Amino acid sequence: MKTKSIIQLIGASAVALFCTACESKQEEAREQNLEQKADQLENAADATRKQGEKMADSTEKATEGKADAIEKEADKVREQK
C-alpha cells in the first residue's frame, strides 16, 4: 500500500513540475516585452551617462580656460613689481 502512495506522490509531483515548467506563448511574449523594456531603460541610462560626461568635459574645459586667464593676469600683476 505504501508503494502505491509513493508512486502516486512522485507521479503527481512530476506532473506538477512539468506543468509549471511549461510557459504559455502569452507568458513568453510578456517576458520578452519586459526584457525589451529593460534593455531600452539600460540604453537610456547609458545615453544619460554619456551626456553627463560630455557636459562635464565641456565644463572642465571652460573652467580651465578661465583659470588660465586668471593665472595670466596674476603673472602680469607680478611683472609690475
φ, ψ dihedrals at 47, nearest 5°: -65, -40
For residue 61, being part of any structural domain is answered with yes
Q: How far is CA 80 from CA 57, 60, 68, 71, 72, in A?
A: 35, 31, 19, 14, 13
Is 15 a domain residue? no
Distance CA 13, CA 7 (A): 10
Residue 65 lies in a domain: yes
Domain around 36: 24-79
Query: Does 4 fall in a domain?
Result: no
- pTM attached to this predicted model: 0.56
How many separate domains does the chain show? Answer: 1
Reported as a single tens digit per residue, the pLDDT across 26-64 is: 989 999 999 999 999 999 999 999 999 999 999 999 999
Outline where 2-81 has alpha helix (H): 2-21, 25-79
